[in-house]
């Protein structure tokens, strides 16, 4: 027997399909395709009929439905925003707690570096202001 590329023998794989097998495959495909086509047509007709019946009701109730939908949308947006801000606040408070208790949360190094830079700049500005004040005072006394 001959070996194939995948290790099986050629005798296990049919070299040709019989005509009756091909006819059965074609009939099965045609039946499945045809029934799906009929089903999609029925769904389209049902959708058109439902829209035809629902349109007058939507027009009659639109003065109530539109504000109700806007209100529901605003309420849902408010709850989602409130929940998001609540989660953000809890996350920030937990980060601050871990930072204060010395557990070194993510980003603490960046915060420490920024704090050191700000305090260094503040000290530098204080020194400059005191130097400027001393020069200003000594300049006034000499004139």
**pLDDT tens digits, residue range 4-47?**
555 555 555 555 678 888 889 999 999 999 999 999 999 999 99
Q: Which residue has the higher pLDDT, 14 or 63?
A: 63
**Of 41, 62, 83, which one is at a domain's C-terminal end?**
62
Residues 93-102 have a mean pLDDT of 92
Cβ partners under 8 Å of residue 105, min gap 6: 95, 98, 99
26 in a domain, yes or no?
yes
3-state secondary structure 81-107: HHHHHHHHHHHHHHHHHHHHCCCCCCC
pLDDT of residue 1: 47
What residues pair up with 3 in beta bridges, in sequence order?
Answer: 9
Same structural domain, 52 and 76: no
Count of structural domains within the chain: 2
- Say what the pTM is: 0.45
**Claim to verify: residue 51 and residue 74 sit in the same structural domain:** no
Q: What are phi and psi for residue 101, nearest 5 degrees?
A: -80, 0
- Taken in order 117, 123, 126, 131, the sign of the CA dihedral is negative
User: Measured between alpha carbons, how far is 81 from 74 in angstroms, rounded to an integer?
Assistant: 10
Domain range for 96 is: 66-129
Of the candidates 62, 90, 114, which is a domain's last residue?
62
């Amino acid at each position: 027997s001959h070996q194939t590329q995948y290790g099986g023998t050629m005798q296990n794989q049919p070299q040709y399909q019989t005509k009756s097998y091909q006819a059965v495959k074609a009939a099965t495909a045609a039946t499945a395709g045809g029934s799906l086509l009929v089903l999609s047509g029925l769904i389209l007709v049902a959708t058109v009929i439902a829209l035809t019946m629902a349109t007058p009701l939507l027009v009659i109730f639109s003065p109530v439905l539109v504000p109700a939908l806007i209100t529901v949308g605003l309420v849902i947006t408010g709850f989602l925003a409130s929940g998001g801000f609540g989660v953000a606040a809890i996350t920030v408070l937990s980060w601050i707690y871990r930072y204060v208790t010395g557990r070194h949360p993510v980003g603490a190094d960046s915060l420490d570096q920024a704090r050191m830079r700000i305090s260094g700049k503040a000290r530098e500005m204080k020194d400059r202001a005191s130097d400027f004040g001393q020069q200003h005072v000594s300049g006034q006394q000499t004139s």
